[in-house]
Amino acid sequence: MTFGYQCDENQSFETTDRVYDAGIDFYDAAEMHPVPPTVDTFGVTEEIVGRWLK
């Protein structure tokens, strides 16, 4: 995933909404996303997924 890196939060929410609506209910937000990890993006995917889950 590249949430917060190649996709902003709005795009990330739209993507996650679409896959959820399609029946996907397992999300992997490992600490290594996005690849390659950088200090600026470390943990951003997890933060975006957390906000989406709220």
**Structural domain boundaries in the chain:** 9-53
Q: Identify whether 36 is preceded by a cis peptide bond (ω within 30 of 0).
A: yes
pLDDT of 39-53, one tens digit each? 887 888 889 999 999
Question: For the whole model, what pTM was predicted?
Answer: 0.79
What would the two tokens of residue 47 be?
A: 């933060």
pLDDT range class, residue 11, cuts 50, 70, 90:
very high
What would the two tokens of residue 12 be?
A: 């990330």
CA distances from 39 to 19, 25, 44 (A): 28, 29, 10
Cα(45)–Cα(38) distance, rounded to whole angstroms? 12
